[in-house]
Structure 1
Amino acid sequence: MRLLRSTDLALRVLMRLAVAGDSTPTTRQVAEDMDVPYTHAAKVVAELQHLGLVDARRGRGGGLALSEKGRTASVGAVVRAFEGEGDVVECEGSTPCPLISACRLRGALRRAQEAFYATLDPVTVADMVADPTGPLLLSISGRPPS
């Protein structure tokens, strides 16, 4: 299983904001810190804001901040929100699989996907920035450790 680039970026943005402290970096600053195109970061930040995980303020003195919901968010829930709830394989697409009526693979893949999410569900964004990750994130953001 491979995560979408937007899912990976969403998790990294949440982690970056989790160590921001009182500072409120802009989307552009976060994109630079994560070495990703601004347009990708802006789309991900918009979705994170829609999910209530990030607070974004525009204009002078604006920036991004992790909401309390974002700090305690389950990594599994974030991944589900960005990946969608669909199956790992598409069995009923424009060219349906000829094995669909008797396939055992689909069920096995669905169980594996749920096991993947079940492993991520108890992990929070705050857990993801515990040492040694938090100090490393601070060092790449150019913000001195507090």
Structure 2
Amino acid sequence: MGAPCTRAAKADTRLRHLGVAGARRGRGGGPALTALGRRSFVGRLDRELEGDGEVVECEGDMPCPLRAACRLPGAPRAARAAFRAGLDPLTAADLVTSPTGPVLLGLTERPPP
């Protein structure tokens, strides 16, 4: 259960470093988008958070046994590029306007099964 929280904490730290997220203090406080964050394009933020590394790791400690006969070279990379192209026109503010924003604010962490 620690991995998702660790990933979220790393993303939060990175977003703060980029100047797109901050925190509000006091009652009702918590994470918040900055003015820059509201104007930031989601595709750019994805690139900043995820980088441009390979989507599927073919080499490494345990190389893929299909690498010599793979029919998918480049397909995951092209899929990621298409995904990001779809996100490029959207800003973070677009994602949190009504009706989505109020629903996001009402979400709570699910208890472990």
Q: TM-score range by the shorter chain?
A: 0.5 to 0.7
Aligned pair count reads 103
Question: In structure 2, what is the equivalent of residue 106 of structure 1?
Answer: 73
What percent of counterpart residues are identical?
56
Matched, 1:135 2:110: no
TM-fit CA distance, 1:135: 3.3
Q: In the alignment, which of 86, 90, 106 is matched to residue 123 of structure 1?
A: 90
Measured against aligned partners, the alpha-carbon deviations of 1:106-145 in whole angstroms (never above 9, x if no partner) come to: 212211110011111111111112221123345x28xxxx
SS class of match (2:22):
strand
Listed as ranges, the gaps of 5+ residues in structure 2 are 108-113
Q: Are the equivalent residues in 1 in contact too, given 2:54–2:77 (CA < 8 A)?
A: yes
Question: In structure 2, what is the equivalent of residue 91 of structure 1?
Answer: 58
TM-fit CA distance, 1:57: 6.9
SS class of match (1:78):
helix
Listed as ranges, the gaps of 5+ residues in structure 1 are 7-36, 142-146
Measured against aligned partners, the alpha-carbon deviations of 1:11-62 in whole angstroms (never above 9, x if no partner) come to: xxxxxxxxxxxxxxxxxxxxxxxxxx6x765543322111111234779xx8
* Aligned residues: CA RMSD: 3.2
Alpha-carbon distance between aligned partners in 1 of 2:66 and 2:9, rounded to the nearest angstrom: 41
**Which stretch shifts more, 115-124 or 89-98?**
89-98
Higher relative contact order (CA 8 A, sep 6+): 1
Q: Are the equivalent residues in 2 in contact too, given 1:89–1:106 (CA < 8 A)?
A: no
